[in-house]
A and B are shown apart, each in its own frame.
Chain A
Amino acid sequence: MLVSNNLNFSYSDQKVLKNINFKAERGDFISILGANGSGKTTFFQCMQGLLTPDAGKILLDGENIKKMTKKEIAQKIAVVPQESQNVFDYQVLDMVLMGINPWLAFSEEPGEKERQTAEDILAELEISDLKNKSFNKISGGERQLVLIARALMQKSSYLFLDEPNSHLDFKNTHLILKIMRELTAKGKTVLTALHDPNLAAQYSDRVIILKSGRIIAAGLVENVMTAENLSRAYEIEINKENSIFSLAFQKSRLLRQEA
């Protein structure tokens, strides 16, 4: 379980996160929504232990994240960054192997066993053909898949994705989120920041909406995806003719009916 209690964070004198209470349980798929500058990325970095909050506590499986080493955190949380090219290029297999690092001793290097695991993961994601290609030369969608393979190599129970689709096309966006959905079925906990409420409604179980560093709504998709919440979050007027969130509404209506 990943919990934050009254989390507050500020850059110099600007408060970015205000009293964030959050809880993620095993198998959850949680989307964080919010306009640019609402604090999504900062929230992610606090939850990863990269930023130290001014006040409040973060508990990762019961342990205070502040007292954990980067290695201990990385054993539990894997981060899938936005895909980008590397300054120094590596082979895909080597990129995936880097995921095993939190489980290695200080100067230990991955061996044959780890190599086999990496190949298995690539096969599972159906990208074995990329194995020996250079990471910088494959497509953006393929790179994102490789980064997911690396996250799986980390054997962590939590997966963080900060706007995973920001450089992806329509097809790859849905592919990646579908894979995430399947992973939650296998017991992983997925936490992702998304720009598109429609996507969040399609794939996640729970949604958190941030506005100016505060949670303005949180809970199950069907309860949170309302015209009121979304128009408040994005400061867009929503009426019957305005269809930009129609997918989200449709999905939450469906879920309500089922309930």
Chain B
Amino acid sequence: MRKITAAEKIFITGLLLIVLILISMMIGNYELSISDLVAISNNLLGRDYEILFNNPDWSVLYYIRLPRILTVVLVGAALSISGAAYQNIFRNPLVSPDILGVSAGAGLGVALGLLYSSGSILYVYLIAFITGTAAVALTYWLSKLTGGKNAMFMVLAGIVVSSLANALVSLLKYLADPMQNLPGIVFYLMGGFSRSGWQEFYLLLPVVIISLTVILFLRWQLNIFSLGEKEAAALGVDTEKIRMIVIVFSTIMVAAATAAAGQVSWIGLVIPHIARFIVGNKYKYYLPASALLGGLSLLLMDNLARTISGAEIPISIITALIGAPFFAYLLITKKESGWN
């Protein structure tokens, strides 16, 4: 039998994602069947807006489920493609997008926003985006101060900044009113998509699309980058420029994703590995596959989060419960190089 090519695998992943989006529209506390969806699309195509807008199915689908599903897909794609690009520029398969402090920083912004911004979710978004980006800027500045030119200093600086931001989040939690504010902060940071409406989606969309495009644009050079900085430079890659571009766009993308969904763990680390496992390391396939698989798996997990029990389970619990054992499985079974 002929082997399935990497391009075909990506196409299949794309199809699966579309199928899963359709299935996700139907499941939930308020059940929708295929015939309900068909009825809605018939109304849409026939421009029977009167009937459509009075149909509760439509309201559930359009105002609640659809924006949530699309936001989940964006966040999943954003986290995994940043993780994938970071693994190449840091030449390390154990790197995830939060390594430079973006999600800890954005988490601090979420806590600040929820405590001091009179509850407007837009403010929370904005502050989280700013603090997430600022945290990475601080990491970058710190690593410059050490005079260290290699990537290791940057990772260490990231640990410093993340710890600081996490300590400040703890401080804010400690100061927060345990009845009024504390639960809000805790649940927001544990991650979830129950807040996701169209407004949130449209805030996220341009940031993710632009950053994703930029990173995909650099895929060939990122491929060479993974050979190591000196080797890449000798092959004519402007390593400093490429690293800077990837960090900037990955940071704004992950900051926005964290602002929208809280700290979603494991996706950015595990999904790139699954992508490598399926399509290999070649630049043409690895980054697009990471993005698609990221969207697909986070959507799968979000469906679990909202259907497993009557109440919604925070998403980072699910991603960690599935991601950690799966990663262990990969560590045990994947004996090839790349791990030494």
Give, as a whole number of angstroms, the nearest-CB distance from A162 to chain B. Answer: 10
Q: How far is the CA of A116 from the CA of B233 in the complex (A)?
A: 24
Residues of A within 8 Å of B224, CB to CB, are 98, 101
Query: Total contacts A to B, CB within 8 angstroms?
Result: 86
- Is A75 part of the binding interface, using a Cβ–Cβ cutoff of 8 Å? yes
- Is A73 part of the binding interface, using a Cβ–Cβ cutoff of 8 Å? yes
Residues of B within 8 Å of A101, CB to CB, are 220-221, 224, 235-237
- Is A213 part of the binding interface, using a Cβ–Cβ cutoff of 8 Å? no
Partner pick for A89 among B92, B237, B238, B281, CB 8 A cutoff: B281
Partner pick for B282 among A69, A77, A87, A90, CB 8 A cutoff: A90
> Would you call A87 and B91 a contact (CB within 8 A)?
yes
| Closest Cβ neighbor of B218 among chain A residues | A107
Q: Which of B22-53 contact A (CB under 8 A)?
A: none
Q: How far is the CA of A137 from the CA of B228 in the complex (A)?
A: 19
Residues of A within 8 Å of B281, CB to CB, are 88-90
Residues of A within 8 Å of B234, CB to CB, are 48, 50, 74, 77-79, 81
Residues of B within 8 Å of A102, CB to CB, are 235-236
| Closest Cβ neighbor of B235 among chain A residues | A101
- Is B338 part of the binding interface, using a Cβ–Cβ cutoff of 8 Å? yes
Give, as a whole number of angstroms, the nearest-CB distance from B87 to chain A. Answer: 8
Q: Which of B210-237 contact A (CB under 8 A)?
A: 217-218, 220-221, 223-224, 226-228, 230-231, 233-237
Give, as a whole number of angstroms, the nearest-CB distance from A66 to chain B. Answer: 15
Encode contact with A along B308-340: 1 for CB under 8 Å, 0 otherwise.
Answer: 000000000000000000000000000011101
Q: How far is the CA of A241 from the CA of B87 in the complex (A)?
A: 55
Encode contact with B along A48-86: 1 for CB under 8 Å, 0 otherwise.
Answer: 101000000000000000000111011101110100011
Give, as a whole number of angstroms, the nearest-CB distance from A3 to chain B. Answer: 20
Q: How far is the CA of A88 from the CA of B231 in the complex (A)?
A: 14
> Would you call B337 and A69 a contact (CB within 8 A)?
no
Residues of A within 8 Å of B227, CB to CB, are 86, 98
> Would you call B223 and A98 a contact (CB within 8 A)?
yes
Q: Which of A144-161 contact B (CB under 8 A)?
A: 150, 154
- Is A136 part of the binding interface, using a Cβ–Cβ cutoff of 8 Å? yes
Residues of A within 8 Å of B223, CB to CB, are 90, 94, 98
* Number of chain A interface residues as a range: 20 to 34
Known: A81-B231, A136-B338. A88 touches B237 (CB 8 A): no
- Is A109 part of the binding interface, using a Cβ–Cβ cutoff of 8 Å? yes
Encode contact with A along B65-101: 1 for CB under 8 Å, 0 otherwise.
Answer: 0000000000000000000000110011100000000
Q: How far is the CA of A77 from the CA of B280 in the complex (A)?
A: 30
- Is B258 part of the binding interface, using a Cβ–Cβ cutoff of 8 Å? no
Residues of A within 8 Å of B237, CB to CB, are 70, 101
> Would you call B236 and A71 a contact (CB within 8 A)?
yes
- Is A202 part of the binding interface, using a Cβ–Cβ cutoff of 8 Å? no
| Closest Cβ neighbor of B216 among chain A residues | A107
Give, as a whole number of angstroms, the nearest-CB distance from A10 to chain B. Answer: 14
Residues of A within 8 Å of B276, CB to CB, are 88
| Closest Cβ neighbor of A78 among chain B residues | B234
> Would you call A73 and B236 a contact (CB within 8 A)?
yes
Q: How far is the CA of A70 from the CA of B242 in the complex (A)?
A: 12
- Is B239 part of the binding interface, using a Cβ–Cβ cutoff of 8 Å? yes
- Is A99 part of the binding interface, using a Cβ–Cβ cutoff of 8 Å? yes
Residues of A within 8 Å of B235, CB to CB, are 74, 98-99, 101-102, 150, 154
> Would you call B282 and A74 a contact (CB within 8 A)?
no
> Would you call B233 and A70 a contact (CB within 8 A)?
yes
> Would you call A85 and B337 a contact (CB within 8 A)?
yes
**Complex A-B: 18 CB contacts under 8 Å:** A48-B234, A70-B236, A71-B238, A85-B337, A85-B340, A86-B226, A88-B87, A90-B223, A90-B282, A94-B223, A94-B282, A98-B224, A99-B235, A101-B236, A101-B237, A107-B217, A109-B284, A136-B338
Enumerate chain B interface residues (CB-CB to A < 8 A). Answer: 87-88, 91-93, 217-218, 220-221, 223-224, 226-228, 230-231, 233-239, 276, 280-284, 336-338, 340
Given contacts A88-B91, A88-B93, 19 further A-B contacts (CB under 8 A): A45-B230, A69-B238, A70-B233, A70-B239, A71-B236, A74-B233, A77-B234, A81-B230, A81-B231, A85-B337, A87-B93, A87-B226, A88-B281, A89-B281, A101-B220, A101-B236, A101-B237, A102-B236, A110-B220
